[in-house]
Structure 1
Amino acid sequence: MIKKLGSSVLLYTISIFALFAQEIDARERYEGLNALIGPNTFFDNHPTGFMLYELDSGWVHFEKNSHMSFIPASTTKLLTFYASLMVLRDQTNTFRYVEEGNEITIWGSGDPSWKYNILPQPKIEDFLSRYSKVKFSASNWKDEAFGYGWQWDDYYYPYSAERSPFPIYGNIVMFKNVNRSPQATIPAFANSIKTYSKVSPTVRRDFHSNIFYYNPSTYTNPGPMLPFVTSPELTVQLLRDVLKKPVELVNTELPTTARLFNGGSMRPLWKEMLQESDNFIAEQILLMVSDQLFGELNSERAIDHVLKTYLRDLPDDIKWVDGSGLSRHNLVTPRNMITLMEKIDKSIPRDQLMNLLPQGGINGTLKNNYKAPRPYIFAKTGTISNNHCLVGIIRTDSGRHHAFAFMNNNYLNKASEIRREMEKVLLYIKENY
C-alpha cells in the first residue's frame, strides 16, 4: 500500500514538474516571438496585425492587433475560395440554357475558362455544335465590369480584366509582332489597330474603347496582354467567330427551368487563383457563386449571403466588397482570417489545402520566398502598394500545423524589406513551436 502511494506521489510530482517545464518553455517561446514582432520592433513602424493559432489544439499562441481591421489585398481570395467550397463544391457553372428544337438560348454563369489558355477547356464547342443557331442573353447580368473601389488607371493591365457573364479568352487580347506591326490574336480586333505618334515600344489601348495604338517607328515588343472592353454585343461577335454559325443577341429572361452546363472541375481554377493570384478568375468564381445561389450574376448579393450564412460567426465586423482584393475598401481583422482558415481546414483535407496554396520556395507567388529544405509556409499572399499580407498555414519542425495571419498596411518600406522581416518571424515559429 505504501509502495503504491509512493508511486502515485512520484508520478504526480513528475507531472507537476513537466507542466511547469512546459509553461516555462511556452513563456520563453512567447518572449522570443514578442522580441521579433512586439513593441519597439520593426513592426512597430507601421500598422501590423498578427495571430498564430494551432489548428489541432485550438490554442492561440500569439496576438498583435488581431482585433484591428486591415486592407487584406489578395488574401481576400481566401474568402472567395471558401464561398465556392460551400456553394459550388467541385463543379464550375459555365452557362444555363434552354433548347428550342435546333436552336438554343444560353445565359452565361460566369465560368472564366473558355479560351483562357491557362485553364483546362470546357467542351462548349462540342456541346453547341448540334444546334443550327445560338441565342445569347445577358439578362441575368446584374453587376458591373469593374469592382467597387478598383483604380481607374488599372484598366490597361491584365490583372484588372473586366468581369462579364460569359467570358471568352479571359477577357484579354494578346498581340504578335509581324514585320514590326502588331497582330491581334483575336480576329475580332484585327481592324481595331491604329497608329499614333506617341513614343512607345508596345501596344496601348484607348481608355473607353477597343481601339489599340502603336507607333511604327518604335514598336518592338509583341506584348503586352491587354484587357478589352466587354459587352453583350462583343460576346455575340466572339461567339460567331468561334462557333462559325449564326449567333443572335436577345434579351430573354432566364427561366427557372433552364438547364445548367457544368464545364469541369473547380480545382484548376482554385489552384490558379490561389497560387498565381489571378484576379479575373477570383471575380468570376464569385459570379458563379451568385449564379448558383440566385440564378443571376451579382457579386454584392453573393457576398452578403455568404457573410450572413457561412461566415455569420466571424469574431469581428468585416467589409468584403470584391472577389479578388483589388479594392482597398476591403477590411478584415487577423482574427477573422484565422477563423476563416479554420473553417477552410475543416472543409477540405489539409493536405489538399496545402497543395492548393502557394508553397514557400516552391511555386506560385511564394516561389522566391520562405525557402527551406522542406516547405514550411503554405499561404496566400496579398500585395498592393504599401500593403503586404500573408495568411495560411505554417508547418513547424515539431510537425504541428498553425494557422497564421500576418497583415502589414501603410508602410513606406520596400515590399522586399517587409518580407525579409516577416521571414525572421516565421522562421522562429518554424523552429520553436
Structure 2
Amino acid sequence: MTKFYPTKLLVSLLFLLFLREANAQITRDQYIKLESALGETSFFSGHMTGFMLYDLDSQRVLFEKNSQIRFLPASTTKLFTLFSALLILQDSTQTLRYVTDGDTLRIWGSGDPSWKYMEFAQPDFTRFLAPFKAVVFSDANQLTPVFGYGWQWDDYYYDYAAERTSLPIYGNLVQVRKIGSRAQVFPARFQSTVATTSRPIKELERDFHSNTFEYNPTTFLGKEEFIPFLTSPELFTEFASMETGKPWIYRPDPLPLENQSWRGAPLFPLLKEMMLESDNFIAEQLMLMVSDRLFQNLDTERAIEYIQKTYFFDLPDQPNWVDGSGLSRHNLFTPRSMVALFERLYRILPENQLYEILPTGGKSGTLKNSYRAAQPYIFAKTGTMSNNHSLVGLIKTKSGKTYCFAFMNSNYPYTASVVRREMEKVMVMVREML
C-alpha cells in the first residue's frame, strides 16, 4: 500500500489557508464587544440599524447586524452612480451630440454639468462652435423629468435640488450675494425679477411657478449663496447665446440616428466633487450622461435598469435604486449590498484615486468635522436625510489593516449629529481592537 507524504508545497498551501481562515475571524471577546455596542441594550436598539464589517483580504464577513435589512441610503446612493460613471463614461464627460447643416450646427445635450459651473475644466465651446454661424438646440432626447421620482417638492428652492437638464449652464443655479441689505443675483437678467417683501424670511426665495424672487431687507442674511432657477429651453438658449456670442435657436427636433458625439471635459474632477461635497446635481447629470452613452437619450430610469441587470445582478440583495443622488425616499439598499458594491469600487479604482475622492475623517469633504484622529482612519461616503444617516467605506485599524464597512441607520428620533457621535464610538472601538 502506497503511503502519501504531503509535499512541501502542499504543506505551505495548507498553512496559508489556515492563516487566511484564522485572520478572517474575530475573537469571542471582540464579537461580544461589537454585539454589546450594537445590540439590544445599546443606543442603536431604539431605531433600525444595520452594520457589516468585511475583511477585504480574506473576502470574509467579520461581523454583521441586520445587514439583510433595507435602509434609506440617502447620499450613499452616489456610490452606485460613481461605479456607473467609471464603467460607462471612463475618463471624460459626454457633453453633446450634433449634426452639421452647412454653417449651422444642430445639437442635443448629453447631460454634461460642467458649463459655467463652479471651477471645473470647461468644454471649449468657443473652439467647437467657431466654424458655424448659428446653433440649433433641441432637448427632445431628454426623457427624464427635471425632478426625480420621490424627491420632496419643497426642496425646489435649495441648491441641492437643482433641475436636471440635457445641457445645463451655471449649474442651473442663481448666485446670490448680499450687498449691504440688498440681494444681488447672477445671471444679472434675473435682477429685474427680484422684489422686496415684508414677510419674515431670512433668505432670497423663488416663487414655485416662476423665476420671480423676493427677500426682506430687514431680515436678509444672504447665507444661501445659490438657489435653483426654473429652467426652460428658451432661457437656456438666451444664456448660451450670451456666453458664446453665437445665436442659439430652440427647435425640438428628434435626434437623428446618424450623429456625432462630443466629449468635452475631464470626468474625474466631477466625480471628486460629487463624492467629497455630496453634490446632488453632478450625480443626477452623471446618470444622464451614462444613459446618453448607452442609448443616445437621457433616461435615468432605463440607465439604472441596465446597470442593475448587467453589473449588479449578483448583489446579495437587489437594491431599489431610482436616482443618481439619493434625494429620493424610494431608494432602499441593504448594508451587505453596499459592502459588495464598495468592494467592486475598491478593486477597479487605483488606490490613490479612491482615497482622493473619499471624504476623510477630520480632513476632507463631508467628514471634515467628524471622525477626527491624529492619523485618519475613516474614508467613507456619508448619506444624511431626515431621520436617516449612513456611512459606507473603509476603516484603517491599529494593526495597519483596512476593512470595508457599511453602517446604516433609519427611523431615529434624534438629530443626525447624535447618531453620528454614537457611530463614531463604535468605529473607534473597531479601530482599536483589530
Task: Give the TM-score normalised by the residue count of structure 2.
Answer: 0.92
The code of the aligned residue for 2:239 comes to L
Structure 1 counterpart SS, 2:289 = helix
Q: Say which is worse superposed, 134-143 or 35-44, in terms of deviation.
A: 35-44
Determine the structure 2 residue equivalent to 1:426. Answer: 427
Q: Say which is worse superposed, 370-379 or 126-135, in terms of deviation.
A: 126-135
CA deviations 1:300-352 (Å, max 9, x no partner) are 11111000001111111310011100111100101110110111112112332
| Aligned positions of 1:4-15 closer than 5 A | none
CA change 1:220–1:362 in 2 (3 A) is closer
- Structure 1 distance, partners of 2:201, 2:338, is 43
The code of the aligned residue for 1:234 comes to L
Q: Say which is worse superposed, 143-152 or 34-43, in terms of deviation.
A: 34-43
Shift of 1:18: 9.1
| Aligned positions of 1:124-273 closer than 5 A | 124-178=125-179, 180-216=181-217, 218-219=219-220, 221=222, 223-273=224-274
CA change 1:133–1:379 in 2 (3 A) is same
Q: Say which is worse superposed, 281-290 or 232-241, in terms of deviation.
A: 232-241
- Structure 2 distance, partners of 1:135, 1:21, is 65
Shift of 1:220: 5.6
- Structure 2 distance, partners of 1:39, 1:216, is 52
CA deviations 1:66-102 (Å, max 9, x no partner) are 1110000100000111111111111110111112222
CA change 1:403–1:18 in 2 (3 A) is closer
Q: Say which is worse superposed, 288-297 or 96-105, in terms of deviation.
A: 96-105
Shift of 1:29: 1.8
CA deviations 1:233-276 (Å, max 9, x no partner) are 11111111212221110122212322111122211111111110
Determine the structure 1 residue equivalent to 2:3. Answer: none
CA change 1:319–1:21 in 2 (3 A) is closer
Q: Say which is worse superposed, 49-58 or 115-124, in terms of deviation.
A: 115-124
Q: Say which is worse superposed, 207-216 or 311-320, in terms of deviation.
A: 207-216
The code of the aligned residue for 1:158 comes to D
Q: Is the contact between residue 142 and residue 296 of structure 1 (CA under 8 Å) also seen in structure 2?
A: yes
CA deviations 1:346-395 (Å, max 9, x no partner) are 21123321221101110000001111111111100000011100001111
- Structure 2 distance, partners of 1:319, 1:332, is 6
Shift of 1:121: 2.0
Determine the structure 1 residue equivalent to 2:4. Answer: none
Q: Is the contact between residue 121 and residue 266 of structure 2 (CA under 8 Å) also seen in structure 1?
A: no
Q: Is the contact between residue 141 and residue 298 of structure 2 (CA under 8 Å) also seen in structure 1?
A: yes
Q: Is the contact between residue 112 and residue 167 of structure 2 (CA under 8 Å) also seen in structure 1?
A: yes
Q: Is the contact between residue 24 and residue 62 of structure 2 (CA under 8 Å) also seen in structure 1?
A: no
| Aligned positions of 1:380-399 closer than 5 A | 380-399=381-400
Are residues 1:277 and 2:278 paired? yes
Determine the structure 2 residue equivalent to 1:67. Answer: 68
Are residues 1:326 and 2:327 paired? yes
- Structure 1 distance, partners of 2:157, 2:107, is 30
Structure 2 counterpart SS, 1:379 = strand
Structure 1 counterpart SS, 2:327 = coil
Structure 2 counterpart SS, 1:190 = helix
CA change 1:47–1:178 in 2 (3 A) is closer
Structure 2 counterpart SS, 1:252 = coil
Q: Structure 1: 5+ residue runs without aligned partners?
A: 1-10
Determine the structure 2 residue equivalent to 1:97. Answer: 98
Q: Say which is worse superposed, 100-109 or 217-226, in terms of deviation.
A: 217-226
Q: In the comparison of the two structures, how many residue pairs are matched?
A: 420
CA change 1:180–1:285 in 2 (3 A) is same
Q: Say which is worse superposed, 292-301 or 242-251, in terms of deviation.
A: 242-251
- Structure 1 distance, partners of 2:410, 2:99, is 49
Shift of 1:33: 1.6
The code of the aligned residue for 1:101 comes to G
The code of the aligned residue for 2:336 comes to R
CA deviations 1:139-172 (Å, max 9, x no partner) are 1010111100101111110011111110000010
- Structure 2 distance, partners of 1:35, 1:249, is 63
Shift of 1:22: 7.1
Task: Give the TM-score normalised by the residue count of structure 1.
Answer: 0.92
Determine the structure 1 residue equivalent to 2:7. Answer: none
- Structure 2 distance, partners of 1:115, 1:24, is 51
- Structure 1 distance, partners of 2:159, 2:24, is 52
Q: Say which is worse superposed, 361-370 or 240-249, in terms of deviation.
A: 240-249
Determine the structure 2 residue equivalent to 1:116. Answer: 117
- Structure 1 distance, partners of 2:301, 2:21, is 52
Report the identity percentage.
Answer: 50
- Structure 1 distance, partners of 2:392, 2:25, is 29
CA change 1:183–1:24 in 2 (3 A) is closer
CA change 1:195–1:386 in 2 (3 A) is same
The code of the aligned residue for 2:84 comes to A
- Structure 2 distance, partners of 1:92, 1:20, is 44
Q: Is the contact between residue 72 and residue 331 of structure 1 (CA under 8 Å) also seen in structure 2?
A: yes
Q: Is the contact between residue 25 and residue 62 of structure 2 (CA under 8 Å) also seen in structure 1?
A: no
Are residues 1:415 and 2:416 paired? yes
